[in-house]
């Protein structure tokens, strides 16, 4: 069925959401990147931005949900597959669970991160009780959860603006499905304590990766989705004030123990643009000051600036990682077809970032492909330009991966 409106329409309206054993060390005084062997106390994690396995992605799986969706311009989720095919050629279907990860699986196998963390931006449910009036509702059939286990994802951050797209029944089934599949979750729950409970990945030697997940209205999360008492919902931040940062830090301090790497995964900010509100910068800094090791920001459909503050990593926006946006025109200057795999390495004994390696990917035919040298250079140039004010410079290695070094830092 042809779309009733030009392809540009969905892009503008479909959003209120839309180691290797040697790596690189950040050398703050010299501002250069030097090779250093990974030690026993360095924990490397994989971070990605928005993983949106609903809608068009769900439709190419072995057990797709009913294709009817409730958008202003598109009524059939299969139309997003057709748009991708018009742009880049045939998309096979049904696909095996690992298909969407493509070349990312080889990179994960090579780096072998200790924990794999993504922002899962869809309800995993058969519920038809969709949240009316929201505009965009993402749903993946529970049988397709194998597309997450195929990549051996450890933690799904859920405090985002799509996890309750199919209301409380959808959230309940999402939590049950992910838990049964062995996936840990953070940021959403049947009660406020459950929504605020971190996901913990136990590592050898007594080390742990501890993940908190929270989100703000600026990302499109309806305030009505806030968990409260025994009411189901997400860990919703009503603001990004110092008081709210202190409340998050208090929860971190109650859980964190020596050897832990603590990640706070935040869904915040709009979809497009490179500017970072000063309030977000201050909030991220307050978290780091309070003991958080990595601030994992997402919501934007493309990467935003990178900062190393007090030797801790702040990612203000990781961009989309898996989506069905191919063929949707509008905002081409931001290249949302390009994605990044983030591999921060952290000294678990101190929390200090020892390296940040990023692998560029290109979304094509609903699959992650290794980015071309030209696309990798475009990402390097863009990230370097937007991160300079945050004290970071980005370099492109001979292996096609990006690394971050330091320039004069923000105070």
Q: Give me the residue spans of the domains in the chain.
A: 8-406
Q: How far apart are CA 341 and CA 45, in angstroms?
A: 10
373 sits in which H/E element: helix 373-387
241, 103, 219, 77: which is closest to 157 by C-alpha? Answer: 219
The pLDDT score that the predictor gives to residue 38 is: 42
What is the full per-residue pLDDT of the chain (411 aa) written as tens digits?
333 333 333 332 333 333 333 233 333 332 333 333 344 589 999 999 999 999 999 999 999 999 999 999 999 999 999 999 999 999 999 999 999 999 999 999 999 999 999 999 999 999 999 999 898 999 999 999 999 999 999 999 999 999 999 999 999 999 999 999 999 999 999 999 999 999 999 999 999 999 999 999 999 999 999 999 999 999 999 999 999 999 999 999 999 999 999 999 999 999 999 999 999 999 999 999 999 999 999 999 999 999 999 999 999 999 999 999 999 999 999 999 999 999 999 999 999 999 999 999 999 999 999 999 999 999 999 999 999 999 999 999 999 999 998 654 444
* Cβ-proximal residues to 110 (8 Å cutoff; 6+ apart), any chain: 19, 20
Instruction: Dump pLDDT digits (tens) for 348-364.
Output: 999 999 999 999 999 99
Token pair 């199919």 in the structure block, residue: 166
Residue 187 contacts residue 265 (beta carbons within 8 Å) = yes
Terminal alpha carbon distance of the chain: 55
Is residue 364 within 8 A of residue 83, CB to CB? The reply is no
* Residue 305 and residue 316 in contact, taking contact as beta carbons nearer than 8 Å: yes
Could you tell me the two tokens for 267? 């869904």
Report domain 8-406's class: alpha beta
Distance between CA atoms of 205 and 219, rounded to whole angstroms? 37
DSSP state of 113: -
Spatial distance between the Cα atoms of 288 and 265, rounded to a whole number of angstroms: 13
Return phi, psi of residue 182, to 5°. Answer: 90, 15
pLDDT on residue 407: 53
Q: What is the dihedral of CA 77, 79, 84, 86, to 10 degrees?
A: 170
């Amino acid at each position: 069925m042809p779309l009733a409106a030009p392809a540009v329409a969905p892009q503008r309206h479909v959003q209120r959401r839309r180691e290797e054993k040697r790596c690189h060390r950040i050398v703050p005084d010299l501002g250069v990147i030097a090779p250093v062997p990974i030690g026993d106390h360095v924990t490397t994690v994989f971070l990605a931005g928005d993983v949106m396995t609903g809608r068009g992605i769900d439709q190419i799986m072995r057990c797709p949900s009913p294709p009817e969706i409730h958008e202003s311009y598109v009524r059939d989720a299969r139309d997003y597959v057709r748009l991708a095919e018009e742009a880049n050629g045939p998309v096979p279907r049904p696909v095996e669970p690992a298909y969407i990860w493509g070349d990312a699986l080889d990179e994960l196998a090579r780096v072998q991160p200790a924990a794999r963390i993504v922002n899962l931006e869809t309800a995993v449910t058969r519920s038809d009780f969709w949240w009316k009036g929201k505009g965009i509702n993402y749903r993946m059939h529970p049988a397709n959860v194998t597309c997450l286990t195929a990549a051996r994802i450890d933690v799904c951050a859920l405090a985002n603006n799509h996890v309750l797209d199919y209301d409380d029944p959808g959230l309940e089934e999402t939590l049950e499905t992910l838990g049964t599949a062995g996936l840990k979750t953070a940021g959403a729950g049947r009660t406020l304590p459950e929504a605020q409970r971190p996901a913990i990945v136990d590592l050898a030697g007594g080390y742990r990766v501890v993940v908190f997940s929270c989100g703000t209205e600026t990302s499109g999360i309806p305030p009505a989705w806030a968990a409260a008492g025994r009411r189901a919902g997400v860990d919703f931040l009503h603001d990004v004030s110092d008081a709210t940062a202190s409340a998050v830090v208090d929860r971190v301090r109650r859980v964190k123990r020596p050897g832990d790497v603590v990640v706070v995964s935040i869904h915040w900010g709009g979809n497009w643009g490179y500017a970072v509100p000063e309030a977000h910068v201050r909030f991220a800094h307050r978290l780091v000051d309070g003991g958080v090791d990595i601030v994992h920001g997402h919501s934007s459909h493309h990467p935003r600036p990178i900062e190393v503050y007090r030797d801790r990593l702040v990612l203000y926006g990781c961009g989309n990682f898996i989506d069905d946006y191919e063929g949707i025109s509008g905002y081409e200057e931001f290249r949302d077809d390009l994605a990044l795999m983030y591999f921060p390495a952290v000294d678990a004994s101190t929390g200090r970032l020892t390296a940040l390696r990023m692998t560029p990917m290109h979304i094509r035919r609903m699959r992650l492909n290794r980015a071309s040298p030209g696309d990798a250079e475009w990402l390097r140039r863009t990230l370097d330009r937007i991160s300079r004010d945050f004290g970071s410079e980005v370099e492109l290695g001979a292996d096609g991966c990006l690394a971050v070094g330091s320039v004069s830092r923000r105070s």
